[in-house]
Amino acid sequence: MASRKSPSRKSPARPAKRAGGKAPVARKASSARKASPKRGAPRATTSALTLPTLHESTTSSGLKVIAAERGPLPMVSVRLVIRAGSATDPDGKHGLADFTARLLRRGTRRLNAQAIDEAVEFVGASLGVGVSEDTLSVALTTPSEHFVPMLGILGQLVREPTFPQSEVDDARERELAQFANDLDDPSIIADRAMVRALWGNHPYGHDVGGSSKTVKTFTRDDVVRFHQERMGPKVSMLIVVGAMDPQRVAAAAEDAFADWTGGPDAPVAIPAPERIALGGRVIIVDKPDQTQSQVRLGGPGMRMGHEDYFPATAMNIALGGGFTSRLMNEIRVNRGLTYGVSSWFDSMNAAGVFALSTFTKTESTREIIDVALAEIGGVREKGLKPRELADAQSYLAGLYPLRTETNESIAGSIAEARLHGLGDDWVERFRDRLRAVTPKEVVAAAKKYCFAQAPAVVVLGKADVVKKQLKGLGPITVVPASEYE
Amino acid sequence: MSKASPSKVPTRVADPALESLFDVHEATLPNGLQVRLLANHQAPVVSLYTVFQVGSRNERPGITGISHLFEHMMFNGAKKYGPKMFDKTLESNGGRSNAYTSTDLTVYYDDFSADALETVLDLESDRMRSLRISQETLTSEREVVKEERRVRVDNDIFGIMDEELGTLVYKAHPYRWPVIGWMADIEAIRREDCQDYFRTYYAPNNAVLYIVGAIDPKKTLALVRKYYGSIPKGPAPAAVLNSEPEQKGERRAEVRHPAQSPALMLGFRGPAARDDDTFVLDVIQYVLTKGEGSRLIRSLVYEQKLAVSLMLDWSWRIDPGTILFYLALKPDSDPKKVEAALYAELEKVAREGITERELQKAQNNLRSDHLRELATNSGRAHALGHYEALLGDWRRLLTLPSTYASITNDQVKAVAAKYFAPEHRSVVTLVPAPTEA
């Protein structure tokens, strides 16, 4: 699929559209959130996780390489992580990191777009780019026997992309059409409105892809400059997990990235924001044809690696995690108001938010907001029952090993730990740290994060019906959906 | 043991890399429950899939969507574990669970910490043995499903078009209606309908259990016997009749709905999963839309710049399924022009077939995707269930690469000509309508 949206780490309360006409209908949209599991009572034993050994090297150009050998499948997963995410987009050029990332594979000094596609896809490898607030990543999975040439192509993409003018122009046109079509997707627009309401003018405050207003202005020079100034070996790391000898990985990486130059010596520093931009305010995004409102609530959270991470994570499992969370129980099971509701901490390198996402028929928009706020308020006032905390710890600790099942997920964990300075024992110690959380720590985290101040509220739906319902939640602003194109 | 129906597929040879992953232990209990066990000790977790041979294909007008609504009811309490206790027990023991309903199957799956195995078998067998369907939970769950329908269909352009297309491609077969059902039918389903459904389709002889992960197969089978052995066998469900007549000309529909751009969705009725043409279509699908360098993406998105994105979905079904195309266009696109470009590409495959290199590329990618899908316990359990339910034997997943390797260009041409014939087309066009304020 040639599609526009970078995979995001957000967890929409909406079923991922499965390819296919008569897609299976699941009981609950699976969320992109991290889940993990384990037992109620404290347990003496924990089955150890078998993690591959990390082998580190550095190429002559200064790129850090981390390799982990792992079978049994004859496949290798590669991830090149560059600290050039959407937070580093220049002013007035929001979306440039994402735009640049997409153009990397549209031509290099030695290969045009068709030749790149053919070389990669012929052997059954796959290449994808993803941009988040903090990073621009290029991901590759390949059969082991083609690893070396595939890594060579990855090296070309970042070392010597040519950004042909015609490719830049076509990409811009496609992107603008996609922005128009996004207006027809209620959950995308609600998420976009929420990002703006939470972060305002902060570098995290725009959609990763930017907007039609900014993308319209992109020139080839912008892209060339972004690549030259933001992407380079000193702010990147290469992670390779799979059926490949670490020594061969180091040698292949040297060959592929030896002449890579450019980029900064250190990552761009992103400041922490003062406050939630539109805390206590209500934004109604008007889409008159809807029979259902998309609802988002959000307040302050924490950066990755913050000391509150474990108490807050355990708390949120009980509040808005699995099928037995308080929100799910009250809103879906007891009242039948929705199909999906979840809350989560979205933590980035500089700061984070705590957010809730759900949807309901137009008529019950106010009710679902009131019930959600009451549930979150209940945890803020009283914390969790000891049993609830124990269950949440068991759930997350028991499921945690699922994150070690694939080469991709292991590469992802390594990248996360390195990016945010979590320590290389992050995965191994995760379950013990989670189980060590006490009810008292949960109370403190709840007081801090469960909307101690009124949250930002975003509702996308039929404004003329919804507006009357939302009186008393804060000052209301109604905007047309086109505001988010 | 169900056996694959004998068919004239060329020699099927097991792929050694796949064979090494699938040391499967099989058993059938006296009550007809079939069990497949596979050990994998890479992580201390297990996945359990329960596949029931029932989906929207088994429904009738008036209760469309009951398979899916009933799937929701399976989580709402049984004799030993009452309302809310299934999820509560599972999650507090380090597990998670979900389920999905398709046209042909209803599939329940759990991922859990290896030490919760016995608890999970107790939970799962309890609901297969003695589900309790109360009026209260049905009333509440019905509202949940209506919200699900609103989010997937009523407020989703793809969903709206897809529903329209189903009624064009099928005149008589139950594939005509959406898996989630018509809104009025969801409203009308009664508790008695659900109880009938449970008795008819949820007997052990209509189910297969797949358990993959950090298990000892022998001990696990003993536990399965202990928990499931005494569930009584049920009558064999009635066969589904396929009365679909032959299509004798193009079928078209328009959907007028507020939207920024027109869009196109097309369907061609394909073969049943067990028909050999299925695998040829898999290859054609890969050549047309797998990857940025595939024919349609390169031609329609990059060279002719007609589409923003496009998708081809060829999902195997028990009865002849749909080869589905979806094209997202630009605000000023002319759908007629896009259609013409697409038909030109399809005709080209029927006329000239594909190159040797394209065939090899498709085979390479089919194998890579196959391997990626098998990276997790859940993926392996799902694959076992999928191939067994649709092809009659899970072993077919071992020989699939050799099946693809035996496909010739003549077969590709013949299959493309047969299924993409203009008189077999069904086309839904989205016409942007102004928003009624």
CA angle A25, A29, A34 (to 5 degrees): 145
CB contact under 8 A, B100 and A2: no
User: Do B383 and B40 meet the contact criterion of CB atoms below 8 Å apart?
Assistant: no
Give me the pLDDT at residue B114, please: 96
A127 sits in the region (left: phi over 0; alpha: psi -120 to 50; else beta) called: beta
Interface check A482 vs B, CB under 8 A: no
CB contact under 8 A, A399 and B20: no
User: Do A353 and A195 meet the contact criterion of CB atoms below 8 Å apart?
Assistant: no
Interface check B299 vs A, CB under 8 A: no
User: Do A75 and A240 meet the contact criterion of CB atoms below 8 Å apart?
Assistant: no
User: Do A140 and A194 meet the contact criterion of CB atoms below 8 Å apart?
Assistant: no
Q: Is the pLDDT of residue A43 over 90?
A: no
Give me the pLDDT at residue A4, please: 30
Give me the pLDDT at residue B381, please: 98
Give me the pLDDT at residue A26, please: 60
Arithmetic mean of pLDDT, A421-449: 96
Interface check A20 vs B, CB under 8 A: yes
Arithmetic mean of pLDDT, A369-390: 97
* Per-residue pLDDT tens digits for A116-125: 999 999 999 9
Query: What pLDDT band is residue A27 in, cutting at 50, 70 and 90?
Result: low
Q: Is the pLDDT of residue A14 over 70?
A: no
Residue of A nearest to B74 (CA): A27
Arithmetic mean of pLDDT, B85-99: 97
Query: What pLDDT band is residue B11 in, cutting at 50, 70 and 90?
Result: low
Size of interface A-B (CB pairs under 8 A): 293
Give me the pLDDT at residue A9, please: 28
CB contact under 8 A, A113 and B377: no
User: How far B46 CA sits from the closest chain A CA (Å)?
Assistant: 9
Report the candidate in A461, A73, A93 with the shortest Cα–Cα distance to residue A284: A461
CB contact under 8 A, A180 and B261: yes
- For A67, list phi and psi in degrees, rounded to 5: -120, 140
Mutate to test the interface with B, among A22, A413, A431 (most CBs of B within 10 A): A22
d(CA A428, CA A432): 8
Query: What pLDDT band is residue B396 in, cutting at 50, 70 and 90?
Result: very high
Interface check A307 vs B, CB under 8 A: no
User: How far B427 CA sits from the closest chain A CA (Å)?
Assistant: 13
Q: Which of A104-108, A398-402, B17-21 has the lowest mean pLDDT?
A: B17-21
Query: What pLDDT band is residue A49 in, cutting at 50, 70 and 90?
Result: confident
User: Which of B143, B315, B435 minimises the CB distance to A20?
Assistant: B315
CB contact under 8 A, B313 and A2: no
* Per-residue pLDDT tens digits for B45-86: 999 999 999 999 999 999 999 999 999 999 999 999 999 999
Arithmetic mean of pLDDT, A266-270: 95
More confident call, B297 vs A51: B297
The DSSP string of B42-93 is SSSEEEEEEEES-SGGG--TTSTTHHHHHHHHTTS-BSSS-TTHHHHHHHHT
Give me the pLDDT at residue A47, please: 72
Residue of B nearest to A360 (CA): B147
Interface check B94 vs A, CB under 8 A: yes
* Per-residue pLDDT tens digits for A307-319: 999 999 999 999 9
Strand locations in B114-194, DSSP E?
none
Averaged confidence pLDDT in chain B: 95
> Which residues on B lie below 8 Å from A17 (Cβ)?
156, 158
d(CA B391, CA B9): 12
Give me the pLDDT at residue A393, please: 97
Interface check A26 vs B, CB under 8 A: yes
Interface check B150 vs A, CB under 8 A: yes
Q: Is the pLDDT of residue A161 over 90?
A: yes
* Per-residue pLDDT tens digits for A72-91: 999 999 999 999 999 999 99
> Which tokens is B177 given?
């209606």
Residue % of chain A over a pLDDT of 90: 89
> Which residues on A lie below 8 Å from B301 (Cβ)?
2, 174
Report the candidate in A318, A414, A75 with the shortest Cα–Cα distance to residue B17: A75
* Per-residue pLDDT tens digits for B284-329: 999 999 999 999 999 999 999 999 999 999 999 999 999 999 999 9
Q: Is the pLDDT of residue A162 over 50?
A: yes
**DSSP class of B299:** I
Name residue B35's beta-bridge partners: B27, B209
At B199, the amino acid letter reads R
Query: For residue A72, is the peptide bond before it cis, meaning its omega torsion is within 30 degrees of 0?
Result: yes
- For B24, list phi and psi in degrees, rounded to 5: -90, 135
Give me the pLDDT at residue A36, please: 29
Query: What pLDDT band is residue A477 in, cutting at 50, 70 and 90?
Result: very high
> Which residues on A lie below 8 Å from B269 (Cβ)?
none
Q: Is the pLDDT of residue A5 over 70?
A: no
CB contact under 8 A, A177 and B330: yes
> Which residues on A lie below 8 Å from B112 (Cβ)?
37, 398-399
Interface check B7 vs A, CB under 8 A: no
Arithmetic mean of pLDDT, A348-370: 98
Arithmetic mean of pLDDT, A397-409: 95
Interface check B422 vs A, CB under 8 A: no
CA angle B400, B277, B291 (to 5 degrees): 65
Give me the pLDDT at residue A7, please: 28
Q: Is the pLDDT of residue A65 over 90?
A: yes
Q: Is the pLDDT of residue A40 over 60?
A: no
Residue B63, CA distances (Å) to A212, B197, B243 in order: 45, 11, 19
Give me the pLDDT at residue A64, please: 98
CB contact under 8 A, A292 and B68: no
Arithmetic mean of pLDDT, B81-96: 97
